[in-house]
Structure 1
């Protein structure tokens, strides 16, 4: 039986349709939390063999005996975000944990160089990765402040260990760097209210989409695996375990930190 480290708490997980997001939602539920799962399109990863519907992911929460709220929409839309957080609060009576996992390298790698990226792709990457994080934090934090407690966990990337040598994915990494900086600023601002804010920076995690696209982006090959100290690529649950740590009391004196979960 899973340890109930989050018993009686309520969480919101964005990007819950992806491999990492769904693993986080499942792990938090097994730890005792009710979970609101949020994604722009829960069927997006089905084309690579991922979850085919929101109901599949919701079932991961209910199978653990926890309540679930399902919300599909754009996390860069402030009105949508406010409606989701309000729904979660009504359903669960509180908001204890916010995990910002929405986003990703959503534009073609071959068009993602620092000197040539289009305005449209630039705006998309910052909206999906940075604006979504800001929107959910600004909506959830007042609820946490009223409670006198809470934990925000932002999923970021690209702090040095993932920067491609060819310079691709430039603005995806820039957007995630903005999330990292925002994490530290927010932690310093709201720590006085009993709210902690931390970030997790995954290495190469082999979910269905990443595995399918690995060859196109030069990732996942044997030589890349050999550069990892543990000699394996990450599993979505490797990230979810660290999120559970940041969400619960084991990290009660930890805030403003970035933990790279890369296998070394």
Structure 2
């Protein structure tokens, strides 16, 4: 993927690690999560971030610049029950964001994360196991009393990809309508 993009455009300015397993999950007690589900989720949500960052780093090193934006989740700060594998994977993404920010700063790369609350993407909205799980609780917890959509995250990602964020690194910006008033 990185090689194809670089060959086509001659440079890479931003890596957005957005791939994740979530919309197909069924909330369940941690001791009922099948090991193969745990492993599959970790392979995408954690190892995928590591692999993509590892592959783009030589390009960023040669350019002496770049941005990595990892998509985490606000569940990390909340400790959401019945989703341990997902919460743990996104906690790892936050930790990786901080560690990579320190490691890549000397080559001009900033690394940040965006931690959305529950976003009603098409795939999430189509999964009744998620949308019917404690209905109304998400909205009640938010200061901004409405559903969140993918478009609500775009501005934050665009900001972190821009030169306006050149002195921000190792941070996790929570985009959840005011549900969490803390740092991750």
Among 151, 160, 164, the residue aligned to 2:77? 160
Deviation digits for residues 185-232 of structure 1 (CA, Å, limit 9, x no counterpart)? 00001101110000000001111121222x423358345313210111
| Aligned: 1:235 with 2:152 | no
Among 67, 85, 106, the residue aligned to 1:151? 67
Instruction: Give yes or no for contact 1:96–1:150 (8 Å, CA) kept in 2.
Output: yes
Distance 1:106 1:141 in 2: 29
Instruction: Give yes or no for contact 2:24–2:124 (8 Å, CA) kept in 1.
Output: no
Deviation at 1:118, TM superposition (A): 1.7
Q: Give RMSD over aligned pairs.
A: 1.7
Q: Taking structure 1 as reference, are residues 220 and 243 closer, same or farther at Cα in structure 2, changes over 3 Å only?
A: farther
Deviation at 1:169, TM superposition (A): 1.2
Match of 2:5 in 1: 88
Among 34, 38, 51, the residue aligned to 1:118? 34
Deviation at 1:107, TM superposition (A): 5.5
Paired residues in the alignment total: 176
| Aligned: 1:202 with 2:116 | yes
Distance 1:261 1:223 in 2: 17
Instruction: Give yes or no for contact 2:25–2:129 (8 Å, CA) kept in 1.
Output: no
Name structure 2 gaps, 5 residues minimum: 179-184
The one of the two structures with greater contact order (alpha-carbon pairs below 8 A, sep at least 6) is 2
Distance 2:49 2:175 in 1: 20
Match of 1:60 in 2: none
Higher fraction of helix:
2
Q: Taking structure 1 as reference, are residues 196 and 243 closer, same or farther at Cα in structure 2, changes over 3 Å only?
A: same
Name structure 1 gaps, 5 residues minimum: 1-83
Deviation at 1:156, TM superposition (A): 0.7
Q: Taking structure 1 as reference, are residues 102 and 223 closer, same or farther at Cα in structure 2, changes over 3 Å only?
A: closer
Distance 2:163 2:93 in 1: 23
TM-score of the superposed pair, with normalisation by structure 1 = 0.63
Deviation at 1:117, TM superposition (A): 1.7
Among 180, 186, 208, the residue aligned to 2:94? 180
